[in-house]
Amino acid sequence: MVRVAPSLLSADFSRLADAVQSVEGSADLLHCDIMDGRFVPNITMGPLIVEAVRKTTELPLDVHMMIVEPDRYLSDFRQAGADMISVHWEACPHLERTIDQIHRLGALAGVALNPATPVQALVDILDELDYVLIMSVNPGFGGQTFWPRATIKIRQAAQMRKGRERPLIEVDGGINQETADPVRAAGADILVAGSYVFASANPAERVKILRGN
Ligand code: DX5
Ligand code: ZN
């Protein structure tokens, strides 16, 4: 069954604990978007916020690093409580080393791909990844429109993985009731959703809808 990771980016940051509480029992993971104002235009949260979220929940924390030179901060985010850490292919000249570093810290390691980055860029490193994060928007902001070609990339990633369980395929950006169907059908294992979940008065219900049952 597909897993759902609500993205806290669209939560009310003045009431983060309440937002976490609203998806406890329905969400499988919590997605934390780290932005530095350089790799992407926006600036969001650092390890301090991740640590604060960690104190509110037992849910695994899925940390999506949209920053340049992520190697410098892997340890800080792991210590803050990250269970899964993804870095962007476009931000890592020595990706294999970065993945190894995440594993040495004891976290699951993922690589995120911008829409323009082909899935084939991961062919030589696929066996070392716990998950691939396929961006279905250009990263930087919540509430953007789903990029339909992402479903082709999901199928390509599933084909590259063939019969193996890893890497899992995570999809992020513009996921809602309509776009979740083709994304699940294409073979995604984890759906990230921010605005669709947290703009609702009933976030838990939205999580269930995304899971498709
Ligand atoms: C976008 C972030 C996403 C974002 C998704 O750069 O990586 O995780 O929170 O937001 P929605 O679901 O609103 O597109
Ligand atoms: Zn994200």
* Arithmetic mean of pLDDT, 23-50: 98
Q: For the chain, report the end-to-end CA distance as a whole number of angstroms.
A: 9
pLDDT, tens only, 137-165: 999 999 999 999 999 999 999 999 988 99
Return d(Cα 196, Cα 205) in angstroms, integer. Answer: 11
pLDDT digits (tens, 9 = 90+) for 172-184: 999 999 999 999 9
- Does 98 contact ligand 1 (Cβ within 6 A)? no
pLDDT of residue 89: 98
Whether residue 70 has pLDDT greater than 90: yes
Residue 163: strand, helix, or coil: coil
Atom 1 of ligand 1: nearest residue by CA position: 139
Please compute the mean of the pLDDT values over residues 34-42 and round it to a whole number: 98
| Cα 32 to ligand 2 centre (Å) | 7
**All structural domains of the chain:** 3-211 (3.20.20.70)
pLDDT value of position 118:
98
